[in-house]
Structure 1
Amino acid sequence: MRYLAIPLAAALLSACSSQDDNPSAATQSEAATEAVASPASDKTASPGPKTLTLEGLGGLTIGQPVPASSSFTAGDGQIGNGCETLSSPEWPGVYAIRTNGEVRRISVADGSGVKLIEGIGPGSTIEDVRAEFPSFREEPHKYTGPEGKYLTQPGDEPRLRFEINPDGKVSIIHVGVMPELGYVEGCA
């Protein structure tokens, strides 16, 4: 939503001006509409339905309950500590972690077709990730050792975490908050 705020505000301000007061008001309004309809690059584009953002994905919002209309549901065999993993048949390759009723992490893997607005998704290279996110902390992967890595955005608010497999490619992208963002086995 915030991606539309500035062009929408420009369009509304232009529409409020009369053409007599501002002869270019119609031109400004048309330009603002075109900016929303056809952005200059993918990085400034509004997120599409298969774009993972720090806010969430597919109706799931970090820090919020799962909407009643959502197809995401908890699976069998949950740990029972107030943490559940959620999945949806409409979102293959995507799962979420809900703790005490709130979505705390969303993860996307191969087969999901989901990417970040930067174009990075499962299968992208570690070089792609480092080029877009040079300040991310690097640590060895818990199961693959130093050949695999986690690249994690520093901070306490919703953040990104990439799992890099031993061949140097992104296997999973997570967005969420700690401690769930750092979980390596579902709710643990």
Structure 2
Amino acid sequence: MKHFASLTAIAFLSLAACSSGPEEPSATASASADVEDIATEAPSADASEAAPVAAPAAVLGLEGLGDLKIGKPVPKGSTWAERGAQTSDACRTVSSPEYPGVYAIVEDGAVRRITLGQNSKVKLAEGIGVGATEKEVQGWFAGFRSEPHKYESAPAKYLTAPNARPGESALRFEIKSDGRVGLIHVGEMPVLAYVEGCA
């Protein structure tokens, strides 16, 4: 009986200790509060610096640019359209106000090449854009075939991916006589190598 009374007293004291004083939040409640505090804080400078520099749509890849895809028709309802450039039944060029300095060549109803020109801010995933040096290009794309430029004297040249062939999307650079990239093309041969739009 004495033993039972001691146990009761210990249980009572334990209960009193648990309920005395201000309530402390449980680990779960504390963690929830911390999450709420983090959620309501403004993003730090570090978070904004970690954001991507360019949206994926502003990157030219072997598959295309945004909704414009190599080997596919120009998407219906897109901003890509003929705008006073070369147009014929066999070959036409399209451009979009969303991508200044960029045009595409369409043959047989499908996009065969996309070209980045002088005013384009679009770049390749590697960060290479119009105005990059030949050295920067060679740093990423060693082994490209070199051919003399049709209209400019050396060191102007064309640098073309070794896998450039019909039915396979490839990359081609036009290096100007100042040693900088003047144009970047992605597309399928033989359209990839056209030197004057549709020719």
Please indicate the TM-score interval, normalised by the length of the shorter structure: 0.7 to 0.9
The residue aligned with 1:96 is 104
Structure 1 residue corresponding to 2:177, chosen from 166, 182, 185: 166
The residue type equivalent to 2:76 in the other structure is: A
Give the alignment's TM-score, normalised by structure 2: 0.69
| CA RMSD across the alignment | 2.0
1:89, CA displacement in angstroms? 1.7
- 1:105-131 per-residue CA deviation (whole Å, 9 max, x = no partner) reads 000122211111111000110000111
* Structure 2 gap ranges (5+): 1-49
Is 2:187 the partner of 1:176?
Answer: yes
Distance (whole Å) between structure 2 residues aligned to residue 57 and residue 86 of structure 1: 13
CA gap of 1:51–1:77, structure 2 versus 1, over 3 A, is closer
1:160, CA displacement in angstroms? 0.3
Runs of 4+ in 1 over 4 A off after TM superposition: none
Distance (whole Å) between structure 1 residues aligned to residue 85 and residue 134 of structure 2: 34
- 1:116-171 per-residue CA deviation (whole Å, 9 max, x = no partner) reads 11110001100001111111000111000323110000222100000111111011
* Structure 1 gap ranges (5+): 1-39
* Number of corresponding residues: 146
Of all paired residues, the percent bearing the same amino acid is 53
Larger Rg: 2
Distance (whole Å) between structure 2 residues aligned to residue 89 and residue 117 of structure 1: 22
3-state SS of 1:131 partner: helix
- 1:60-115 per-residue CA deviation (whole Å, 9 max, x = no partner) reads 10000010021111233635251001111221100000001100000012221111
Distance (whole Å) between structure 1 residues aligned to residue 89 and residue 57 of structure 2: 31
